[in-house]
Amino acid sequence: DAKTTQPTSMDCAEGRAANLPCNHSTISGNEYVYWYRQIHSQGPQYIIHGLKNNETNEMASLIITEDRKSSTLILPHATLRDTAVYYCIVLIESNTGKLIFGQGTTLQVKP
Amino acid sequence: DAMVIQNPRYQVTQFGKPVTLSCSQTLNHNVMYWYQQKSSQAPKLLFHYYDKDFNNEADTPDNFQSRRPNTSFCFLDIRSPGLGDAAMYLCATSREQGLLNEQFFGPGTRLTVL
């Protein structure tokens, strides 16, 4: 599974879009990009995943660059409850489901 | 609501005294996972069950064992806890094994070893 690089921490103003980058320059063609987040004292929570195309769901949007070497998770209108550690994970299609968490980005949403 | 439940939320044990952590799920998922998360670190997979099939990670210490008596329940047994085993233990489930199955996590059990 490809390695990911994320900034250690980011701040965002409440109500503004939070854009969380992830670098996965060694990603291969059959590897997916997954995002989970972990709010303090809770278990991780699935957010979104994608392969090549941009994806959107009720929680977030995922923008993957054309060369697939990086991606951005977008929370369109961040709230205080979005304060969490966000993990970008790259998984090969044949993976049994094992999640390999990196250090993630701590997002602090401020009033 | 269908969910993943972990009991207790906080567990204190003594050095070397066996301890069991419990996880139950109402999702009727086939796969159950146990992760260890030490302070300020990311979660790390210990092992998982696909139905009754146990899959151990290569670097999981022998001190850690697991049981899954039925679909709904899974237990994590630590035979002789050391100070280094103090951590949050997270249980997760997924409908099937494989990449495209979202994992649902419980709230975790925080283990303290005295």
DSSP letter assigned to residue B106 = -
Task: Band the pLDDT of B8: cuts 50, 70, 90.
Answer: very high
Per-residue model confidence as pLDDT tens digits over B11-65: 999 999 999 999 999 999 999 999 999 998 999 999 999 999 999 999 999 999 9
Residue of A nearest to B104 (CA): A45
Per-residue model confidence as pLDDT tens digits over A60-101: 999 999 999 999 999 999 999 999 999 999 887 666 777 888
One-character DSSP codes across chain A:
----B--SEEEEETTS-EEEEEE-TT--TTEEEEEEEE-TTS--EEEEEESSS-EE-SS-EEEE-TTSSEEEEEETT--GGG-EEEEEEEEETT--S-------EEEEEE-
Confidence (pLDDT) at A59: 94
Which bin fits B18, alpha (ψ -120 to 50), beta or left (φ > 0)? beta
Distance from CA of A14 to the nearest CA of B (A): 25
Per-residue model confidence as pLDDT tens digits over A25-43: 988 888 899 999 999 989 9
Judge whether B99 and A91 are in contact, CB under 8 Å.
Answer: yes
Among B9, B21, B45, B103, the residue to mutate for chain A (most A Cβ within 10 A): B103
Per-residue model confidence as pLDDT tens digits over B53-99: 999 999 999 999 999 999 999 999 999 999 999 999 999 999 988 76
Does B94 sit within 8 Å of A94, measured CB to CB? no
